């Protein structure tokens, strides 16, 4: 965790097993899709609320989700895990809505509450007060950091996440690197 520069609260970065625990807290397919879009695709809350069945596309490298109207009205595409894409398609199949109706179809306030509630339940289970600071944007922040730690080219992470400049990405989204990431970095340099 790290204090926010301009307001109360803390920035939170989750470890992979904590992301899994959070996703396990989802109550039903709609919450699974919403939380998955935040934590596994790096979408902002408003973007997750706007994803429609038509936005899930198969490419030669796997499924992607199209963000039609991201921050600043910018379009982008980001990879979506195969199991999440399957859940999204299953949700689309069981409802009687048009293909251009958002899958989550809830307010951003409701999605934020789902993240907060999941964090509160995990705090009750673990006693780790870091969960009490968790918000939806922390899932986006975690997503970017975990990709970079797994040595995904930072420029590609920025493209997927819709970040335009390295300074903003580095300063506001990347956290402290894990010990595993630091060890991998050291192993690449013979004189360290």
Q: What does the alpha-carbon distance between residue 169 and residue 81 come to, in Å, rounded to a whole number?
A: 23
Query: Which tops the pLDDT comparison, 12 or 14?
Result: 14
Tens-digit pLDDT profile for residues 117-172? 999 999 999 998 889 989 999 999 999 989 988 889 889 999 999 988 888 787 76
Q: How many residues does the chain have?
A: 192
Token pair for 26: 């989802």
| Spatial distance between the Cα atoms of 187 and 192, rounded to a whole number of angstroms | 7
Q: According to the model, what pLDDT value does residue 150 have?
A: 87
Query: How many alpha carbons fall within 13 Å on the CB side of residue 124?
Result: 7
User: Could you tell me if 32 and 23 are in contact, meaning their C-beta atoms sit under 8 angstroms apart?
Assistant: yes
pLDDT tens sequence across 50-65: 999 999 999 999 999 9
The whole-angstrom separation of Cα 40 and Cα 184 is 23
């Amino acid at each position: 965790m790290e204090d926010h520069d301009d307001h109360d609260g803390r920035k939170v970065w989750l470890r992979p097993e904590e992301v899994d625990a959070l996703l396990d807290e989802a109550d039903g397919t709609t919450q699974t899709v919403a939380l998955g879009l935040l934590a596994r695709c790096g979408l902002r809350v408003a973007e997750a609320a706007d994803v429609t069945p038509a936005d899930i596309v198969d490419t030669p490298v796997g499924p992607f989700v199209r963000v039609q109207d991201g921050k600043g009205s910018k379009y982008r595409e980001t990879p979506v895990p195969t199991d999440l894409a399957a859940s999204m398609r299953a949700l689309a199949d069981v409802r009687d809505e048009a293909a251009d109706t958002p899958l989550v179809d809830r307010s951003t306030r409701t999605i934020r509450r789902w993240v907060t509630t999941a964090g509160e339940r995990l705090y009750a289970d673990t006693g780790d007060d870091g969960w009490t600071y968790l918000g939806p944007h922390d899932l986006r922040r975690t997503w970017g950091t975990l990709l970079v730690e797994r040595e995904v080219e930072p420029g590609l992470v920025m493209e997927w996440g819709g970040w335009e400049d390295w300074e903003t990405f580095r300063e506001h989204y990347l956290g402290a690197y894990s010990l595993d990431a630091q060890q991998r970095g050291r192993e690449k340099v013979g004189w360290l």
